[in-house]
Structures are given as structure tokens and as C-alpha cells.
Amino acid sequence: MKKTLNDYLKMNYRMEIITDNEEGGYVASFPDLPGCITTGETVEQTVANAIDAKKAWLEAAIESGIEIHEPDSLDDYSGQFKLRMPRSLHRSLAEHSKKEGISMNQYCVYLLSKNDAIYGK
């Protein structure tokens, strides 16, 4: 069955908002809707503009017969993976996490998150 505009509008498309360091304000985009991007002076205005942009993008795609992908889902990810490492690194991570007073798992999540934020841009 062919999906309607309302079907797509009900789907939870992930919105990304970043600061526009050159022009000021914010930029919003939807990774699953290529080219669907907008700006705003405040986060609130940017979110409102993004909702309008998403609707306009979907309308144009439906009218033009462009394939619309459904939103990426976190259901495909368990939040776990197995990692092999040298024993010396294991010891180092265990010692650092103990100094911080947190589990090694929490410490590794912290390190991965920190680096993902740096390199994910």
C-alpha cells in the first residue's frame, strides 16, 4: 500500500541541529531525507522551520515520485559489542576507571562518546 503524506509525517525522522558558526543561528537537517535542511535564529525557531521543511520536502518527493526512505531505527542496535584489546590497555583502562570511581564500562563509554563527538563532525 502506498504511503500518504500523513503516513510519513507520523514517522519519527531524526532531526539534527547544529550551531551555524559562520552566519549565526542554527541549522537543522534530517539525515534520512537528503537535502531537507533549514535554519533559524533560535533553537525553537529552527525546530519550527524544520517541521515545515520536512513537510514541504515530503510533499515535493511524493509529487515527483522520489523514493522516500523510512527513518533509521535504533531497533537494529543492541547497545552492546564485544571488543578484544591488549592486556596492557585493559589494565590501563581498569586503573583509570578506578581512579575516577566509575566502572570500566562507564569509563569506556565516556571515552568513546568524547571521541565520537570530536570526530563525528
Condensed to tens digits (0 to 9), the pLDDT of residues 33-65 reads 999 999 999 999 999 999 999 999 999 999 999
Query: Within its chain, how far is the Cα of 106 from the centroid?
Result: 21
- Return the pLDDT at 48: 96
At 80 the three-state DSSP class reads: coil
Instruction: For residue 30, give the nearest of 43, 10, 12 by alpha carbon.
Output: 12
* 39/73: higher pLDDT: 39
- Give the pLDDT confidence score for residue 80 in this predicted structure: 87
Q: How far is CA 90 from CA 68, 80, 100, 105, 121, in A?
A: 45, 18, 15, 11, 28
The structure's pTM equals 0.63
CA distance 29 to 17: 7
pLDDT of residue 101: 92
DSSP, res 19: E
How far is CA 80 from each of CA 77, 105, 111, rounded to the nearest angstrom?
8, 11, 15
Q: From residue 71, give the alpha-carbon distance in Å to each of 13, 28, 75.
A: 5, 16, 11
121 pLDDT higher than 70: no
